[in-house]
Amino acid sequence: MKIQILEKNDISMRLLIEGTNAPLMNTLRRIILSEVPTMAVDDVVILENSSALQDEFLAHRIGLVPLKTDLDTYNLPENCECKSEFGCNLCRVSLVLDVEAEDHTIVVRSSDFKSENPTVIPVSNEISLVKLAPEQKIRLEAYARLGKGKDHARWQSVSMCTYKYKPIISVNTELCNSCGECVEACSRNIITKTGKKIEIRNLENCTLCQDCVKACQETPKAVKSSWDETSFIFAIESTGALTSERILREALNILDGKLVEFLKQLPVKKT
C-alpha cells in the first residue's frame, strides 16, 4: 500500500491510497463516521430560562456544539472505572452558562460557556446559541461526555468522510481531432487545450461524470474515462473536535482492536 498526502491541515485531509481495495476503504470510512469518539454535551440542567426558545430547543442546540476533545485524558463513560451514572472527572466535563441581558438585546455565544477544563471548549467562539431581549436570562449547567457517532450525530467526528476510485482519463492522439468539445463539457476544468494538444491536469478533481466521453464526436471515442480499482482518493473533513490526522489514527486503532477481538473469538468457535 502506498499513501500520498494530497492535502492536509488540522480540519481536512485528502490522501491518495494505492494498492488497496474498496472493502478496506469502506471499513475505514464507517469506523470514522460511527466509532471515533468525540466530546459533546449530553445532559443539560436548566436552572433558569426566560429566553424565546424552549428548554428542549436550547438543550438540543447546546448538544450539537462541537467541543475540542482530549482523547488522552478522558474515558468513554462505559469504559470508565468510576462505573457511575453521573460520571467522574475522567469521563465528564461540566460547562456553565450564566448570561443575562440587561438593557440591550444580546446574542449568547459559545464563548459565554465557562468550562471546568479550559482545554474542553467549543471549537468556535462565535456560535450563536440564542438571543436574549432585555431582562431575559439563562442559567444552566451542561455535562459533556465522550460518545460515538453511532449513538447520536452530535458525537460524529467528521462532517465528511468519502472515498472514490482514482480516475483515469486518456486521450487517443490518433483519433482526436482537437475539436475541444470535451474541454467545454468538463465541469471540473480537468481537460484543457493548449494549441492543438488536449491536456489533462488535476485529475484528482474528476468526478467520473463521463461528460467528456459523451461530448466527443469521434467514433470510436477519442476520450476514454475509467478508474483504477486498486487506488482511492480518501477525504476527511473534521468538525474541529479532533484533528484530521488524529481521527484517521484513532480509526486505525479501533480497527486494530476489532481485528484482535475477532482473532480471539476464532479458536473458541472451533472447539
Indicate the residue among 152 and 196 with the shorter CB distance to another protein.
152
Indicate the residue among 148 and 221 with the shorter CB distance to another protein.
148
Q: Is 80 in the site for Zn ion (CB under 5 A)?
A: yes
Distance CA 125, CA 36 (A): 24
Amino acid at 55: D
Residue 76 interaction partner, one of Zn ion, another protein, none, beta carbon < 5-8 Å per kind: none
Q: Is 47 in the site for Zn ion (CB under 5 A)?
A: no
- How many residues touch Zn ion under the rule CB under 5 A: the total is 5
Whether residue 27 contacts residue 177, with contact meaning beta carbons closer than 8 Å, is answered with no
Q: Which three cell numbers stand for residue 90?
A: 475522567
Q: Is 96 in the site for Zn ion (CB under 5 A)?
A: no
Residue 82 interaction partner, one of another protein, Zn ion, none, beta carbon < 5-8 Å per kind: Zn ion
24, 46, 82, 203: residue in contact with Zn ion (rule CB under 5 A): 82
Indicate the residue among 80 and 101 with the shorter CB distance to another protein.
101
> Please, what is the minimum distance in Å from the beta carbon of residue 158 to Zn ion?
12
Among 30-38, 57-65, 75-83, 150-158, which window interacts with Zn ion (CB under 5 A)?
75-83
Indicate the residue among 225 and 239 with the shorter CB distance to another protein.
239
Please provide the DSSP assignment of the chain as one string: -EEEEEEE-SSEEEEEEES--HHHHHHHHHHHHHTS-EEEEEEEEEEEE-SSS-HHHHHHHHHHS-B---TTT---GGG-TT--SS--TTT-EEEEEEEE--SS-EEEEGGG-EESSTTS-BS-S--EEEEE-TT-EEEEEEEEEEE-TTT-GGG-SEEEEEEEEEEEEEE-TTT-----HHHHH-TT--EEEETTEEEE--GGG-----HHHHH--SSS-SEEEEEEEEEEEEEEEE-SSS-HHHHHHHHHHHHHHHHHHHHHHHHHHH-
Kindly list the residues in this chain that would bind another protein in the complex (CB under 8 A).
Answer: 52-53, 57, 61, 64-66, 105, 107, 110, 123-131, 133-136, 153, 156, 158-160, 237, 239-240
> Please, what is the minimum distance in Å from the beta carbon of residue 174 to another protein?
38
22, 76, 88, 252: residue in contact with Zn ion (rule CB under 5 A): 88
Residue 64 interaction partner, one of Zn ion, another protein, none, beta carbon < 5-8 Å per kind: another protein
HSE (CB half, 13 Å, CA atoms) of 154? 19
> Please, what is the minimum distance in Å from the beta carbon of residue 196 to another protein?
34
Residue 237 interaction partner, one of another protein, Zn ion, none, beta carbon < 5-8 Å per kind: another protein
Give me the residues that bind Zn ion (CB under 5 A), please: 80, 82, 88, 90-91
